[in-house]
Amino acid sequence: MHIEVVGAADTYDLRRRVLRQGRPDAHVSFAGDRSAGAFHLAVRSAPGGDLVAVASFSPEPAAARPGRQAVRLRGMAVDPMWQGQGLGRLLFEEAVSRLRQAGADVLWANARDSALGFYVRFGMEVVGEGFVPAASGVPHHVVVLDLG
């Protein structure tokens, strides 16, 4: 599988289908999508094929690591037909490599509770109390990975 950098808008269809249950009225763009330093990674089913996994990364302070150069992971989504095949791992590992090379100190995310095991396997720490964002209505926790 090949990972490529894509534009923010390229991630919206998969975000909508996977993270917002396909609701046509769902908000799938994020404030950090076009921030300086933001990037979006994707995996295609084949060269020139459909995007089957996406994840977005943008500089944003981490409350759990004040004063450190932090990057937020948002919108990680893998097409249900492709889940369990390691695509999320590929995206995560590629992003961590890029972020370390760029000198970032921290990677963090608001992770769905149903995905906490995925993030913990990569050494991310679950911090704070859980919460339920209005956009998804799904329980979440903050997860943090120290990159340095």
What is the domain count for the chain? 1
Give the domain CATH number at 101.
3.40.630.30
Give the per-residue pLDDT at 93.
96
What's the pLDDT band for 47 if we cut at 50, 70, 90?
confident
Share of the chain above pLDDT 70, in %: 100
How many residues belong to the chain? 148
Residue 127 structural domain: 3-146
Chain segment 98-124, per-residue pLDDT in tens: 999 999 999 999 999 999 999 999 999
- What pTM did the predictor assign? 0.93
Chain segment 4-36, per-residue pLDDT in tens: 999 999 999 999 999 887 788 878 889 899 999
Burial of 117 (0-12, 13-18, 19+ CB in 10 A): exposed
Q: What is the DSSP letter of 15?
A: I
Strands (E), the chain: 3-6, 39-44, 51-59, 70-78, 106-112, 125-131, 140-146
